Structure 1
Amino acid sequence: MASFEERLSAVREERQAFQQTIGAMLGVTRWSAHNYEAGKNRPDSDGLIALTDYFNVSLDYLVGRSEVREIAR
C-alpha cells in the first residue's frame, strides 16, 4: 500500500496543483508542503482534513490505510 507521501504527491499531481498552492491553503510555506511529500514532516490533523476536502479523498486513503478513495457519506 502507498504511503502518505506517495498519495499526497499523486493526488496533487492529478489535480495539477503546485506545492505553493497546497502550502497557502494550509497556511504553511511551500517548503513545508514539499517536506510533507518528502516524508520529512506531516501536517497536523486540521491540515489532513483540509487536504482530504481539497482533493476529495478519504482520510484513510490519503494516509495509506485504504485503497478506497471515495469519502463515505
Structure 2
Amino acid sequence: MIFERIRNIREDNDLTQSQIAEFLNINQRTYSRYERGEISITVETLCKLADYYETSLDYLAGRTDIKTPYSLRK
C-alpha cells in the first residue's frame, strides 16, 4: 500500500512528518493522514516524493521493490 511505503521510506531516511510536509508545502496533519491511509495522495504529490527520495512511482505504489528510479537503472 502506498501509505505504508511513504511512511517506511520517510523513516528509513530518518525524517519527520513535519520535514516532509514542509518540503511538500502542506500541513503536517495532512501528511500524517496520507501515511495513515485516511486520504488519497495525489499523483503530483507522489511525483514530488519520488523525486525527493530518488525512487520511482512504481516503488512508492508497491508495484516493485526496486528503489532505484528508472532513469538511473542500467
Normalised to the residue count of structure 2, the TM-score between the two structures is 0.87
User: Which runs of no fewer than 5 residues in structure 2 stay unpaired?
Assistant: none
What is residue 71 of structure 1 aligned with on the other side?
69
Q: Distance in 1 between matches of 2:30 and 2:63?
A: 23
Query: For 2:57, which of 47, 56, 59 is the aligned residue?
Result: 59
Percentage identity across aligned positions? Answer: 30
Consecutive aligned runs of 4 or more in structure 1 exceeding 2 Å deviation: none
Output the aligned Cα RMSD: 1.0
Q: Distance in 2 between matches of 1:46 and 1:25?
A: 13
Larger Rg: 2
Q: How many equivalent pairs are there?
A: 71
Any idea what SS the aligned residue of 2:70 has? Answer: coil
User: Which runs of no fewer than 5 residues in structure 1 stay unpaired?
Assistant: none
Normalised to the residue count of structure 1, the TM-score between the two structures is 0.88
